[in-house]
Amino acid sequence: MSTFKVNTLQSVTGGVTTLTNQSACKHWCFFVGTGTVTINDSFNTASLTDHGTGNYGANLTNAMTDANQGLFALCSTGELADNRGTATQSRVATFNSSGTLTDSARCNIQFQGDLA
């Protein structure tokens, strides 16, 4: 078995090669949704928007082709819904076990699909 390790992969013309395969994860964000909403780590995430209790939007650095992307998300409250974002923002809503919107201490969201 061989191991291939690189720090930077470049095209023949010298430009950095980026992940462009269809349906690959093009955005992810791990954030704290209580108190001051804070990004802990992310990819293709410019900032977060707190749309109110339990309602978050992650603003993308590079837009998707449209709002019809695959969204996957997890949160520490255990209840979460895709709050249908746009090509430039992934949106989620988090709930407690009674179905009431509530802030979540840990949120993870991902978009799979195509960049614009």
pLDDT for residue 114 = 83
Instruction: Compute how many other C-beta atoms are within 10 angstroms of the C-beta atom of residue 55.
Output: 17
Does the reported pTM lie above 0.85?
A: no
Q: What is the pLDDT along the chain (116 residues), one digit of tens a residue?
A: 677 676 665 666 666 555 555 557 889 999 999 999 999 999 999 999 999 999 999 999 999 988 888 888 999 988 888 877 899 999 999 999 999 999 999 999 998 888 88
Report in angstroms the alpha-carbon separations of 47 from 30, 61, 62, 96: 12, 8, 12, 25
According to the model, what pLDDT value does residue 85 have? 81
Task: Give 48's strand partners.
Answer: 58
